[in-house]
Structure 1
Amino acid sequence: MQPRNMSMSGVVDLAAVKAANEAKAKAEQTRAEVARQGGAAAVSPSSLVIDVDEAGFERDVLQRSAEVPVVLDFWAEWCQPCKQLSPLLERLAQEYNGRFILAKVDVDANQMLMQQFGIQGIPAVFAVVAGQALPLFQGAAPEQQIRQTLDQLIQVGEERFGLTGITVDSEGAAETAEPAPVPAGPYDALLEAAVQALDAGDFAGAVQAYRNVLSDDPGNTEAKLGLAQAELLRRVSDMDPQKVRQTAADNPADVNAQIDAADLDLVGGHVEDAFGRLVETVRLTAGEDRDAVRVRLLKLFEVIGPDDPRVSAARSALARVLF
């Protein structure tokens, strides 16, 4: 099954102003009650992925959604795409470390929930934020698209409902966990080859070297960052900077011109200018053009790194123009 639209536009439809205000008030009441009781205790990493049925839905999903976004994975044992998507969602739940909870729903055992959400096919993924249901996507999808959707979901939870996630007791887990498996292989040689290719101006070679690492170790942070940088340098290598900037200045709504100019801004060290240019272009565009700009902006975030405050500021600005 091919993935359907992964846009978060459903947030606007489902979270009308009155409903959003009521949900936000309930979430604030819940957090205040937790604070009066001494604050929420840290949860174990195993609590980030849970199985949910109809009987426990209110407790495990609706109530928890006042603290943290809850992502619902509707699946079945016989569903082959589910066997690809579910492990990926479980891994991302652990990686996001309390920014959302993954709740797995076996549709064969929970037909009523399937009907309530209007699900026509699986896998189907929804979210519940402050008691409100948001459709995310249906069908298996590439990891990068799923990450982008989760990032937008978390941003909505923070911006509209003040949900900042839950605390995970990683120290307690470390005391009881088995030793981490050794990575699949030494990557020093491949990473060094990629750096040498970059230094020599062989951007295509660097891209391939980083991809070789990621094909064996998808979570390799150094390779992810290196790949984003190498792809950026490859894109700008054949540009005429003066021509690109003039075209962008003359055509503010030209998506390709603004994307190219943002790449040049970033390479030149003008990070805020690059981010601001693309956020403004997202505001001015719609449909496929808007999505193309948003995707490029997320790629530029990868070049700078998620912990950089300029990325955090740009994510907030992007959320404001999207929602």
Structure 2
Amino acid sequence: MQPRNMSMSGVVDLAAVKAAGEAKAKAEQARAASARQAEQGGAPAAGAVPPSALVFDVDEAGFERDVLQLSAEVPVVLDFWAEWCEPCKQLSPLLERLVVEANGRLVLAKIDVDANKTLMQQFGIQGIPAVFAVVAGQALPLFQGVVPEQQIRSTLAELVQVAEERFGLIGIEVDPNAEAPDAAAAAEIPAGPHDALLEAAVVALDAGDLAGAVRAYQNVLVDDPANTEAKLGLAQAELLTRVRDMDPQAVRAAAAESPRDPAAQIAAADLDLVGGHVEDAFGRLVDTVRVTAGDERNAVRLRLLELFEVIGADDPRVAAARTALARVLF
């Protein structure tokens, strides 16, 4: 899904979290206080923060304080993710980097949907990764699934513009010389033997260099064939390479018109997975295995196994799909 144009018509109902009127009232009060401080040359109420403080986890209990109230000072981007979601592992680091680059004009709140199902339901999340923003107590849908970096940059820039022009948000002050409390301890952790190559792969993914990411992950696997991170990363990079030039509407139309066409169903399953619709992707390919035979059936089966690698063997949906596949095959 492409990033949506920012519009105040895309407001999500947050009444179940906190009464909208109360949230807006608090937003107005805090915004007025921030504006007065800005006129006096002071820092925002939260004070100067290190860049690392611009990205944080949030749960249902802290949503009002950490998101609604903070959104009166700075736009809060919401990243709905889960540990099992491989596309999330592609998108989240990119969001974190872009928010830090915004230098206090945005913050990023990460929400684990497995631990915060109520928030997931209240925002109407159908698949992850899903990204929203909250500005002055109002929520705006941004995009769902993994999208190109340039489009994300454009969407976030528009978000900042909306926040500044329509709501007068001034952001928060960032102290580049400040260090998070655990930064020194983290720096003492020794690097692993393949950390440099794995980091190079992540950098390549962030830059849209999928071929470079594939090579970096393959180089790790040459020396360490069992490296889980490299195996998952390679499967993900190869998936993103396959879908990069697809026309989603054309692919889905072809799949709908030809339910027994292995190539059409494989392409649609790739799109399903990138969009966070894991069970749909698995179910589509299991159904295609059921109605095909010979080399066609084997091609579908192998693609399904590749998609299992993207999600990870420990994911319960992979286990369920393996069982369904076994029933179809045997």
When normalised by structure 2's length, the TM-score is 0.48
Structure that is richer in helix per residue: 1
TM-score by length of 1: 0.49
The higher-RCO structure (CA 8 Å, 6+ apart) is 2
